[in-house]
Amino acid sequence: MTEERYAADRRLIAILALLVAVVSVLYIVVGLKSSTWRYALSLRVPRLLAMIVTGAAAAYSTVTFQTLTNNRILTPAIMGLDSLYVLLQSLAVYLFGAGSVVVSDPRLNFLVVIAGMLAFAVVLYNFLYRREERGLAFLLLVGIILGTFFQSGASFIQMVVDPNEFSVLQNRMLASFNNMNTGILWLAGILLVGAMIVIARQLTTLDVLALGREHAINLGVPYDRVVRRLMVVVAVLVSVSTGLVGPLMFLGLLVANLARERLHTYLHRYLLAAAALISILALVGGQFLAERVFNFAAPISVLINLAGGLYFILLLLKESRA
């Protein structure tokens, strides 16, 4: 009986993988002309890779974060982590200037900002775990306030800096889907693989963590150490996705919950794979539509945030009734 359910889940994951492959090929191939194919490929392949890395990072970070907080509504994005990335970027330009190596070298810049993200992850960890139990509403409120604070801080700094520096910031640092920061693609990919390896070694521990803190400790999980390590991994993953394409408010929430709803299992082995595939499918498929069908008229981030926002409200309503 249990085996049948797992078989259905495996089938679903296989179908998702197939769809991702099809959409990826479509994204690369459709509209190639014999005269410009080399140039087109040099643009499309890095973009496709960037979307795959971003999608996987967003899904892995959200599913892991939700399991750590035992909550299906909280996501790193809702706790303001990706807005912090933009703030740290702006802060780097403000403090060091656009000409400095910290800003002009995309890889070094990426690493410096990640260091800042890790520091914040530790603070967030302390806030979430060292205090007595807080209600969900309180945590959500804190997240929304932090997110708004980081965003306003970033806009403030962007207004204060020299206009020339601002244009540098806008062009290079504040990535979006139509302006992906493919300069850090390899570095981001390596970080993603590293993070995925750390998570892969904790898959069954994640299953136990989903039972909650007390059960996890009872079953012999070295709770504080494991959670701290995974929070750091989440911060790295958020940096990866935000660094490549900018803040993705609702993507993680959407795909993590879809995976949890569609699959019949609590096993992270399946949940993470399904969420990552749904995420990549949404990004590549969405970008394909946005570029080739809507001719860039509707940015994909708007589409995702629209769908995600509606779903988020639905979830809140459902949770409040439960």
Partner 1 sequence: MIELRDVTKKYDGIPVVDRVSLTIEKGTVTSFIGPNGAGKSTLLAIISRLLRQDGGEVIIDGIPIEKWGSSELARRISILKQSNQVNLRLTIRELVSFGRFPYSQGHLTAGDWAAVDQALAYMKLTDIQHKYLHQLSGGQLQRAYIAMVIAQDTDYILLDEPLNNLDMRHAVDIMKTLRALVQDLGKTVVTVIHDINFASCYSDCIVVMDQGRIACSGGPQRIIDRSVLCDVYELDFHIETVNNQRICVYY
Supply the DSSP symbol for 182.
Answer: G
Supply the minimum distance, in Å, between the C-beta of residue 316 and partner 1. 16
Residues 248 and 82: their CA atoms lie apart, in Å, by 8
Among 25, 218, 302, 314, binds partner 1 (CB under 8 A): 218
The residue from 61, 75, 83, 205 that contacts partner 1 (CB under 8 A) is 205
Q: How far apart are CA 62 and CA 185, in angstroms?
A: 21
Binding mask 119-158 for partner 1 (x = CB under 8 A): ----------------------------------------
CB of residue 220 vs partner 1: minimum separation in angstroms? 3
- Residue 271 identity: L
Task: List the x/- string, 51-70, binding to partner 1 by CB under 8 A.
Answer: -------------------x
Does 220 participate in binding partner 1 (rule CB under 8 A)? Answer: yes
Using CB under 8 A as the criterion, what x/- string covers residues 158-177 for binding partner 1? --------------------
- Alpha-helical regions (H) of the chain: 2-29, 37-69, 81-96, 101-104, 106-129, 136-160, 163-168, 185-200, 203-209, 213-218, 223-245, 251-262, 268-288, 300-321
- Choose one: 19-27, 79-87, 264-272, 307-315; the region binding partner 1 (CB under 8 A): 264-272
Q: What's the Rg (C-alpha) of the chain?
A: 20
The span of 84-92, 185-193, 199-207, 274-282 binding partner 1 (CB under 8 A) equals 199-207
- Residue from 136, 210, 303, 315 touching partner 1 (CB under 8 A): that is 210
CB 154 within 8 A of CB 86: yes
> Nearest Cα to 65, choosing from 282, 220, 253, 292?
253
Binding of residue 198 to partner 1 (CB under 8 A): no
CA atoms of 230 and 257, how far apart (whole Å): 20
Q: Binding pattern to partner 1, positions 222-251, x when CB under 8 A? A: x-----------------------------
Which distant-in-sequence residues (6+ apart) come within 8 Å of 166 by Cβ?
93, 158
217 binds partner 1 (CB under 8 A): yes
Q: At its nearest, how many Å lie between partner 1 and the CB of residue 92?
A: 39
Contact call for residue 203 and partner 1 (CB under 8 A)? yes
DSSP characters for 265-276?
A: ---HHHHHHHHH
Place of tokens 């981001």: 188
Q: Does 214 engage in binding with partner 1 (CB under 8 A)?
A: yes
The closest of 275, 191, 274 to 233, measured between CA atoms, is 191
Query: Which residues would be at the binding site for partner 1 (CB under 8 A)?
Result: 1-2, 70, 72, 203-205, 207-208, 210-215, 217-222, 264-266
